[in-house]
Amino acid sequence: MGDAGVESTVSPPESTTQDSFLSMTDVFLISLITGLFTYWFFFRKKKEEIPDLPKIQTVSSPARDSSFIEKMKKTGRNIVVFYGSQTGTAEEFANRLSKDAHRYGLRGMAADPEEYDLSDLSRLSEIDKSLAVFCMATYGEGDPTDNAQDFYDWLQEADADLSGLRFAVFGLGNKTYEHFNAMGKYVDKRLEELGAQRIFELGLGDDDGNLEEDFITWREQFWPAVCEHFGVEATGEESSIRQYELVVHTDVNMNKVYTGEMGRLKSYENQKPPFDAKNPFLAVVTENRKLNEGGERHLMHLELDISNSKIRYESGDHVAVYPANDTSLVNQFGEILGTDLDTVMSLNNLDEESNKKHPFPCPTSYRTALTYYLDITNPPRTNVLYELAQYATDTGEQEQLRKMASSTAEGKALYLSWVVEARRNILAILQDMPSLRPPIDHLCELLPRLQARYYSIASSSKVHPNSIHICAVTVEYETKTGRLNKGVATNWLKNKVPNENGRNSLVPMYVRKSQFRLPFKPSTPVIMIGPGTGIAPFIGFIQERAWLKEQGKEVGETVLYYGCRREQEDYLYRQELARFKQEGVLTQLNVAFSRDQAEKVYVQHLIKKNKEHIWKLVNDGNAHIYVCGDARNMARDVQNTFYEIVAEYGNMNQTQAVDYVKKLMTKGRYSLDVWS
């Protein structure tokens, strides 16, 4: 009928007036009904979908699908040790404390705050003899570690009642930094403000001194305080408890075996963004050149190709690099321990409820674990020595290991001199103790993870959007035992030759965002201070200022204070800096050559010479100050120089001058990117 009606409307109007009218009505009604039905259908569908949206969002957040309270109840735990860790040390301390608990009839678990909802802390009192311990490292300039950022944000905003919570905090910091142990101090203070009960005083570990000794000293007083609070006693001597069991795979599909990947199996063969710590990008090394013209050191410039990775970076960010241990060192483990390093194995957590199923990606071979996953070059901590002591067949060597692992003054002194100051790594200890031959699987369980190394990016993404540049110096030194120790990452990078034998040299990497940023307005003056490889981020800054100038932007004064040992030896980026100066991008280039004359000259001396100009830029021009490099001496000396300048030209006393500089820091006008 409809079809006939439509056809009839095409007919001459004089012969089909009535039919045409009815057909048009039909069409109109059908169209109207269809339109209303379509509108109703989609409108109804949208209304039905709205309530489902929150469900979709909650399902997509697997990181916090369980409560640590429920997990503790289910597994009979009463002590939870949270860790905020950037390099693995705080996590290691947390694991040690959780293992300690069994000696007192208690059961502990180490927990990553990123995996749980910390608002559940208010419920911890539901568990008898419960306690929350926090091992919190401070990263950068008083910042929380990546995995503790959410916890830090929650603490700042929380108005929870934590009156039933009992807690203790051990902070990990470095006194050479401005904000020493800021995170540990904040957590300790904030928990008390929220009503929680501190059962033992805040511990402050100093990595510039002896962090291990600081931790042991705090720990040996912490547990008696716990015993007194809960009315429990130690059940006996500390004993060795394995956390993982060894499974050797004799018949395994090699496609299921990890070969160095940090997270997903075969992630290096099938790369998928986004790239981060658990999913690094394999960047091709396109350039690796020596920067210095003489001297014993090797300073280098590398360029990593990030094309097609979707990685974005800004000037001032850090690039994290996952290195590999030296093959010759790895082979020596196989020789000393009489082990076939190509044995494929897994270390499986004996605690089936633990989120951490393996200490590193498994299954894998011992060779892969020792090459890519384990730290074999740093001096081992005392708990490793204690666990290994049982395998020394010589009583003298066993006693020495146990003594170094003890909390006695004599033991601490021996550990400091024989291990820390002598820079004995685990291989050196095995070499110097012939009777110590532990099972390689237990050794792999005890050794900490090999960590990524961070470098200030030496390029601007405005100029090099598909490339990240690194400036680094190889670390190499002779120990008190006559051994030659080499830095893992820098020596590994040194050997990354572009297109060697027709093969690409690859570097697993990702970008870590930084607060070290150029001013929002290009017209704002900048004062950059970076001796040695501390010049790295400023190469990126200057490149960006040059690019902005090319775009027709008004660019403010760009002042650089750089320092090196000798002009003809290690003046890094000499030609590039001279070109920037000639083009007018660098308005001032001040270089201190510390060893080219009898009296050493450093960057702070050149700053003093230009103090009047510095004061005008800072006070009148709202200049931003940037300091990059050594935290222990240079950064502190430069800061003291600024105190002097502010006091002199601002007519202030020392306290006022210090306050003035601190306010610059608070406003983001005095930024630090330093290391010790």
What mean pLDDT comes out for the span 77-106?
93
Among 201, 230, 259, the domain boundary falls at 230
Domain, as residue range, for 167: 68-230
Whether 531 maps to a domain, the answer reads yes
Terminal-residue alpha carbon distance, the chain: 89
Regarding whether 178 and 94 lie in a shared domain, the answer is: yes
Structural contact between residues 392 and 401, judged by C-beta atoms closer than 8 angstroms: yes
Structural contact between residues 615 and 650, judged by C-beta atoms closer than 8 angstroms: yes
Whether 469 maps to a domain, the answer reads yes
Whether 262 maps to a domain, the answer reads no
178 labelled ligand-binding: yes
Q: Residue 197: phi, psi to the nearest 5? A: -105, 120
Regarding whether 458 and 350 lie in a shared domain, the answer is: no
Among 230, 248, 263, the domain boundary falls at 230
pLDDT the model gives residue 239: 61
- Residue 506: its H or E element: strand 506-512
88 labelled ligand-binding: yes
Regarding whether 652 and 538 lie in a shared domain, the answer is: yes
pLDDT at position 5 over 50: no
16 labelled ligand-binding: no
pLDDT the model gives residue 34: 55
Regarding whether 469 and 441 lie in a shared domain, the answer is: no
Give catalytic residue positions.
456, 628, 673, 675
Whether 354 maps to a domain, the answer reads yes
What mean pLDDT comes out for the span 28-54?
43
Whether 462 maps to a domain, the answer reads yes
pLDDT the model gives residue 59: 31
Say which DSSP state 585 is in: S
- Nearest residue to 380 (alpha-carbon basis) of 89, 37, 3: 89
Query: Token digits for 60?
Result: 């997509």
Residue 318's pLDDT band (cuts 50, 70, 90)? very high
82 labelled ligand-binding: no
Regarding whether 125 and 189 lie in a shared domain, the answer is: yes
Q: Residue 112: phi, psi to the nearest 5? A: -85, 120
Regarding whether 309 and 334 lie in a shared domain, the answer is: no
Which string of b and e fits 6-31 if b means at least 16 CB within 10 Å?
eebeeeeeeebeeebeebeeeeeeee
Q: Residue 109: phi, psi to the nearest 5? A: -140, 140
Which residue's structure tokens are 């990126």? Answer: 540
CATH number of domain containing 443: 1.20.990.10
Query: From CA 198, how far away is CA 165, in angstroms rounded?
Result: 9
Among 460, 480, 514, the domain boundary falls at 514
What mean pLDDT comes out for the span 378-390?
96
Regarding whether 458 and 440 lie in a shared domain, the answer is: no
Residue 484 CA to its chain's centroid (Å)? 28
Whether 15 maps to a domain, the answer reads no
Whether 249 maps to a domain, the answer reads no
- Nearest residue to 356 (alpha-carbon basis) of 142, 113, 110, 72: 110
Regarding whether 188 and 159 lie in a shared domain, the answer is: yes
Whether 263 maps to a domain, the answer reads no
Calculate the alpha carbon distances from 403 to 235, 409, 477, 606, 640 in Å: 21, 10, 28, 50, 43
Regarding whether 391 and 299 lie in a shared domain, the answer is: no
Structural contact between residues 288 and 496, judged by C-beta atoms closer than 8 angstroms: yes
543 labelled ligand-binding: no
467 labelled ligand-binding: no
pLDDT at position 46 over 90: no
Query: From CA 610, how far away is CA 481, in angstroms rounded?
Result: 46
Query: Token digits for 405?
Result: 């692992």
21 labelled ligand-binding: no
Higher-pLDDT residue of 374 and 8 is 374
pLDDT at position 58 over 80: no
Residue 355's pLDDT band (cuts 50, 70, 90)? confident
Q: Which range, of 101-105, 396-400, 439-443, 487-491, averages the lowest pLDDT?
A: 101-105
CATH number of domain containing 210: 3.40.50.360
What is the pTM for the complete model shown? 0.87
Query: From CA 240, how far away is CA 460, in angstroms rounded?
Result: 51
Regarding whether 433 and 341 lie in a shared domain, the answer is: yes
Regarding whether 191 and 80 lie in a shared domain, the answer is: yes
- Nearest residue to 212 (alpha-carbon basis) of 199, 224, 200, 203: 203
Beta strands 203-206; 166-173: pairing state: parallel
What mean pLDDT comes out for the span 448-470?
97
Beta strands 166-173; 197-198: pairing state: parallel
Residue 676's pLDDT band (cuts 50, 70, 90)? confident
DSSP 45-67: HHHHHGGGHHHHHHHT-GGGSS-
172 labelled ligand-binding: yes
Regarding whether 337 and 447 lie in a shared domain, the answer is: yes
Structural contact between residues 564 and 662, judged by C-beta atoms closer than 8 angstroms: no
The amino acid that residue 667 corresponds to is K
Q: Residue 190: phi, psi to the nearest 5? A: -70, -40
Computed over every residue of the chain, the mean pLDDT equals 90
pLDDT at position 13 over 50: no
User: How many domains are contained in the chain?
Assistant: 4
A 10 A CB-CB count for 315 gives 25
pLDDT the model gives residue 45: 37
A 10 A CB-CB count for 628 gives 26
Query: Token digits for 412?
Result: 């601490």
92 labelled ligand-binding: no
CATH number of domain containing 563: 3.40.50.80
Residue 33's pLDDT band (cuts 50, 70, 90)? low
pLDDT the model gives residue 634: 96
SS3 content of the chain, % helix, strand, coil (to 5): 45, 20, 40
322 labelled ligand-binding: no
Calculate the alpha carbon distances from 288 to 232, 475, 607, 642, 661 in Å: 60, 17, 33, 37, 39
Query: Token digits for 95?
Result: 């694991």
Calculate the alpha carbon distances from 173 to 136, 137, 178, 486 in Å: 9, 6, 10, 25
pLDDT per residue as tens digits for the range 551-588? 999 999 999 999 999 999 999 999 999 999 999 999 99
State what percent of residues in the chain have pLDDT above 70: 89
pLDDT per residue as tens digits for the range 331-349? 999 999 999 999 999 999 9
